[in-house]
Amino acid sequence: MNRRELVVLARAVAYKAVVLRLRYAVTTATSLLAVYAFFAVLFFVGRAIAPGVIADTLPGIIVGFFLLLMATVAYSELSWELMREAQWGTLEQLFMSPLGFGQVVLVKTGVSVLVAFAYGTVLLVSMMATTGEWLALDPLTVVPVGLLSLGSAVGVGFLLGGLALVFERVESTFQVVQLGFVAFVAAPVDRMPLLKLLPLSLGSDLLRTAMGEGVGLLGLPRADLALLVVKCTVYVAAGYAVLAYAGRVARRTGRLGQY
């Protein structure tokens, strides 16, 4: 696929994503408001009951919600997209694309990550405005660390996408994965270093340090940054391998034209 074809594909995928969100604007707004409302309840109730605890942990809570929302969008977007394509009867067209199913999936994933950052930015600004806690937002630190952190979520998304191709209905799995992500974001990696290998755990810790303490990218531990890069690569590669295998299984068993 040459650069021109890549640009055309990316433009079409991005346009479709924007159109769907505008067409279902109420759903888009409700999903954001639900997360914000949960945070607001946690903040105001917590401040009333234990103001000292909330004051000490507020930066970490804000970063946790920020990363959790982005991760949820990043991992679930592809799976929902594949299930919608199956319902609409257009899933086979993705496999028949001259650009290849793999290229289409990668572009869709890239757009999903951009959407995740857009959602996360709106939520982050809303949370900081509500609490008055303004974190350090250095784009040269937050963007690369955030992208690398989402790599593990994207890998999980590829895995769920593969399950969606073979088993078609995997909505209940999303809830289990999301609960797991909540635990991973809050994992105490400073006391239990092995937890750094879990999805989102290390990225969440680095983002808390960068945004809560104003530490720049070069000030973060180099060993942790290297591990974050390795984790991103391994999770994405493993998830994509599962998705590719599931695609072959779906074609061999004739599931692409059924729902």
Q: Are 150 and 71 in contact (CB under 8 A)?
A: yes
Q: What is the pLDDT of residue 51?
A: 86
Q: What is the mean pLDDT of residues 200-229?
A: 94
Highest mean pLDDT: which range of 4-8, 47-51, 161-165, 202-206:
202-206
**What's the pLDDT tens digit per position in 46-67?**
999 988 888 888 999 999 999 9
pLDDT in tens, 120-149: 999 999 999 999 989 988 999 999 999 999
**Higher model confidence: residue 189 or residue 172?**
189
5, pLDDT greater than 80: no
> Does residue 113 sit within a domain?
yes
Q: Mean pLDDT throughout 159-185?
A: 82
Q: Is the pLDDT of residue 257 over 60?
A: no
Contacts of 127 (CB under 8 A, 6+ apart): 36, 39, 62, 65, 66, 133
Q: Return the pLDDT at 33.
A: 92
In a domain, 202, yes or no: yes
Q: What is the pLDDT of residue 217?
A: 92
pLDDT of residue 120: 92
- How many CB atoms within 10 Å of residue 140? 10
Torsion angle of the four alpha carbons 113, 116, 122, 125, in this order, in degrees rounded to the nearest 10 = -80
| pLDDT of 214 above 70 | yes
Span 233-237, average pLDDT: 95
Per-residue pLDDT averaged across 15-38, rounded? 87
Q: Is residue 259 part of a domain?
A: no
Query: Averaged over 87-107, what is the pLDDT?
Result: 77
Residues 69-74 have a mean pLDDT of 89
Asked whether the beta carbons of 203 and 145 are under 8 A apart, the reply is yes
The answer to whether residue 72 sits within a structural domain is yes
Classify residue 100: in a domain, yes or no: yes
Q: Is residue 258 part of a domain?
A: no
State the pLDDT confidence band at 74, using cuts at 50, 70 and 90: confident
- CA dist 155 and 238 (Å) reads 7
Work out how many domains the chain is built from and give that number: 1
The percent helix, strand, coil of the chain (3-state, each to 5) is 85, 0, 15
**Count of other CB atoms within 10 angstroms of residue 71:** 30
CB-count burial class (<10 Å; 0-12, 13-18, 19+) for 133: middle
At residue 226 the predicted structure's pLDDT band, cuts being 50, 70 and 90, is: very high
Mean pLDDT of 224-229: 96
Residue 257 belongs to a domain: no
Which domain covers residue 21, as residue numbers?
Answer: 3-252
Per-residue pLDDT at 45:
93
pLDDT class for 258, splitting at 50, 70, 90?
A: low
Say whether pLDDT at 161 is over 80: yes
DSSP E strands, 41-111: none
Q: Is residue 194 part of a domain?
A: yes
207 to 74, 105, 175: CA distances (angstroms): 17, 28, 24
The overall average pLDDT reported for the chain is 87
